[in-house]
């Protein structure tokens, strides 16, 4: 466990929030997709100045932190997840000074700032790759994963790209293949090379000195590939899972035993965590694995010397998180990682919005929002989730996502979750821009605009505010332990314990009426407006469709 650290080093003018090594525990983190949050200059693309303008909305929601998806210099073939300069801002988003203003404004509002670091790969126009590909003997020749072809000229092994096809691309200059787990324009860094690790940790320090409070680590389990480049084994059909890639993608036909999830990652994560300690910064890792997500999370968060949190894909699955799914997930978590601190989310920039993915009514959406705020762990909310936005339907000619273009129409890509935030319904751009938005605003989103829901009794926005406030009021929900989760039919129930109190939660995640057994003891109803009333002395309660019972007692 890391317990002491030197004083943090900030750039002049940076005003950090008070150092709190545990700020992340139980935090609600609001994800901003910068292209689509707020456009301040009318070019149709969101920017950092727009984010600064809209931060009061996030603060009023009751969030603790923001996570900003990549805004670094990039050719934008994967919309910022292909970085060409880790230490600068792409001009479409503004400047480093604009970023500094975002941090300053966020800190004024009591919000911590996390940024999205993409450490597994770069853009193919990054200076590191330009040098690496120039020859086999230059100083950065081994900074990326290069391999000779097989004798017949084919790729060195059978690894597949998440975005389809082989994970290897041929480079005629070196007469070698390079690894790309994503687009061919996103070559994978070789973290087996110590100098690569050093360079990436320099990036971490650069942003910590600018006042960031933490990082979201993209594809955290892809940092290392097997140094012997062994073939991945096939995955039996009954074990395939399309939470990482759509079912039409052959990526699902392999068990990715050697192309990711390598043991060397643990030592690198220890080096990374040591950089965070002086700043009391935190990190949440994205574990992209369909078979062993919870187990990998246990490895990466154990011991207090790696990352604080990971979010697995169990609640990002295509199928709805029923009571049984919830219970099984938390049972697996308790066995695989009893001390791990997960970060749960239903939606993000890579998945179909959960309102559409799970075919939720307004009542069901509210129930899942309340339940999310009661789970042990931290929480990520994706922009627009608080408005109840469904997935946007886009025409093929409007698509920007290369993933969707490649697999259309069987898979429509990620653009439907990335359309602009709707702030008002007075114009077709939803108050996002005075110009033409880079993706069209969905007509189904306009009636759900923030201005239309602000202060409206029963609106989704006000429900989320109430749910976040409930979580904030009860330390058991933020930092407490959780009893084994029990499922009976459509009802899931558990108790959170901590901070001198206990909170009982029973949620009917179904369309019918169901009974829930109430715990014995001196409990009182809690969460007014979020949960149903409980008759005094009752030993069970009838829950209507999507109703939740919330009760609290002091230890």
In this structure, the number of other CB atoms found within 10 A of the CB of residue 14 comes to 17
Q: Where are the alpha helices (DSSP H) in 63-170?
A: 96-108, 127-132
End-to-end Cα spacing for the chain: 29
Residues with Cβ within 8 Å of residue 446, at least 6 apart in sequence: 422, 425, 428, 430
- CA–CA distance, 384 with 218 (Å, rounded to integer): 21
Question: In this structure, what token pair is assigned to residue 325?
Answer: 């799914």
Q: Where are the alpha helices (DSSP H) in 345-474?
A: 354-357, 362-372, 402-407, 450-453, 460-473
- CA–CA distance, 151 with 80 (Å, rounded to integer): 36
Angle at the Cα of 29 from the Cα atoms of 498 and 470, rounded to 5 degrees? 45
Read off φ and ψ for residue 415, nearest 5 degrees: -65, -30
Residue owning tokens 């003018």: 13
| 88, 306, 472, 324 alpha-carbon torsion, rounded to 10° | 110
| Residue tagged active-site, from 188, 226, 286, 385 | 286
* SS3 readout for 311-343: ECCCCCCCCCCCHHHHHHHHHHHHHHCCCCCEE
Inter-axis angle of helices 293-301 and 265-276, nearest 10 = 50
Residue owning tokens 């910022």: 80
Q: Where are the alpha helices (DSSP H) in 337-418?
A: 354-357, 362-372, 402-407
Is residue 393 within 8 Å of residue 416, measured between CB atoms?
yes
- CA–CA distance, 505 with 55 (Å, rounded to integer): 31
Q: Is 382 exposed, middle or buried (0-12, 13-18, 19+ CB in 10 A)?
A: buried
Q: Strands of 214-217's sheet, edge to edge?
A: 309-311, 282-286, 214-217, 112-117, 65-68, 28-32, 378-382, 343-344
| Residue tagged active-site, from 218, 289, 391, 490 | 218
- CA–CA distance, 114 with 31 (Å, rounded to integer): 9
**Is 555 annotated in the active site?**
no
Is residue 346 within 8 Å of residue 31, measured between CB atoms?
no
Residues with Cβ within 8 Å of residue 436, at least 6 apart in sequence: 44, 429
Q: Of 8, 4, 411, whose CA–CA distance to 209 is shortest?
A: 8
Task: Tell me if the bond preceding 181 is cis, omega within 30° of 0.
Answer: no
**Is 299 annotated in the active site?**
no
Active site residue ranges: 218, 286
């Amino acid at each position: 466990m890391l317990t002491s650290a030197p004083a943090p080093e900030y750039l002049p003018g940076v005003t950090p929030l008070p150092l709190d090594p545990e700020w992340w525990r139980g935090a609600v983190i609001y994800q901003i997709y910068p292209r689509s949050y707020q456009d301040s200059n009318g070019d149709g693309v969101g920017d950092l100045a727009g984010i600064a303008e809209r931060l009061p909305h996030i603060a009023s929601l009751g969030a603790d932190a923001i996570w900003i998806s990549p805004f670094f210099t990039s050719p934008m073939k994967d919309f910022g997840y292909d970085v060409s300069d880790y230490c600068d801002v792409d001009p479409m988003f503004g400047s480093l000074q604009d970023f500094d203003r975002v941090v300053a404004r966020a800190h004024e509002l009591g919000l911590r700032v996390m940024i999205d670091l993409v450490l597994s790969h770069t853009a193919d126009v990054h200076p590191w790759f330009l040098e690496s590909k120039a020859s086999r003997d230059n100083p950065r020749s081994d900074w990326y994963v290069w391999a000779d072809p097989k004798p017949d000229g084919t790729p060195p092994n059978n690894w597949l790209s998440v975005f389809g096809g082989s994970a290897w691309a041929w480079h005629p200059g070196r007469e070698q293949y390079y690894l790309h787990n994503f687009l061919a324009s996103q070559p994978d860094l070789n973290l087996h090379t110590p100098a690569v690790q050093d360079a990436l940790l320099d990036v971490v320090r650069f942003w910590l000195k600018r006042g960031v409070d933490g990082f979201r680590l993209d594809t955290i389990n892809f940092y290392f590939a097997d140094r012997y480049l062994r073939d991945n084994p096939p995955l039996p059909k009954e074990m395939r899972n399309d939470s990482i890639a759509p079912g039409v993608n052959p990526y699902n036909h392999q068990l990715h035993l050697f192309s990711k999830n390598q043991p060397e990652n643990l030592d690198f994560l220890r080096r990374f965590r040591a950089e965070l300690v002086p700043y009391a910064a935190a990190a949440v890792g994205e574990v992209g694995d369909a078979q062993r997500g919870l187990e990998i999370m246990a490895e990466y968060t154990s011991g207090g010397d790696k990352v604080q949190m990971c979010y697995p894909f169990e609640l990002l699955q295509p199928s709805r998180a029923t009571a049984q799914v919830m219970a099984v997930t938390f049972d697996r978590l308790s066995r695989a990682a009893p001390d791990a601190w997960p970060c749960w989310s239903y939606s993000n920039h890579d998945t179909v919005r959960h309102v559409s993915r799970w075919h939720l009514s307004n009542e069901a959406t509210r129930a899942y929002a309340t339940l999310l705020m009661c789970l042990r762990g931290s929480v990520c909310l994706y922009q627009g989730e608080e408005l109840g936005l469904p997935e946007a339907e886009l025409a093929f000619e409007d698509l920007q996502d290369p993933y969707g273009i490649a697999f259309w129409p069987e898979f429509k890509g990620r653009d439907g979750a990335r359309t602009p935030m709707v702030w008002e319904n007075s114009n077709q751009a939803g108050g996002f821009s005075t110009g033409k938005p880079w993706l069209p605003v969905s007509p189904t989103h306009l009636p759900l605009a923030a201005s239309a829901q602000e202060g409206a009794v029963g609106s989704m926005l006000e429900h989320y505010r109430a749910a976040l406030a409930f979580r904030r009021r009860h330390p058991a929900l933020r930092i407490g332990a959780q009893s084994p989760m029990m499922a009976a039919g459509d009802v899931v129930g558990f108790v959170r314990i901590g901070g001198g109190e206990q909170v009982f939660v029973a949620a009917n995640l179904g369309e019918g009426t169901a009974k829930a057994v109430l715990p014995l003891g001196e409990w009182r109803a809690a969460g007014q407006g979020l949960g149903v009333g409980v008759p005094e002395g009752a030993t069970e309660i009838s829950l209507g469709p999507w109703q939740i019972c919330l009760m609290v007692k002091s230890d």
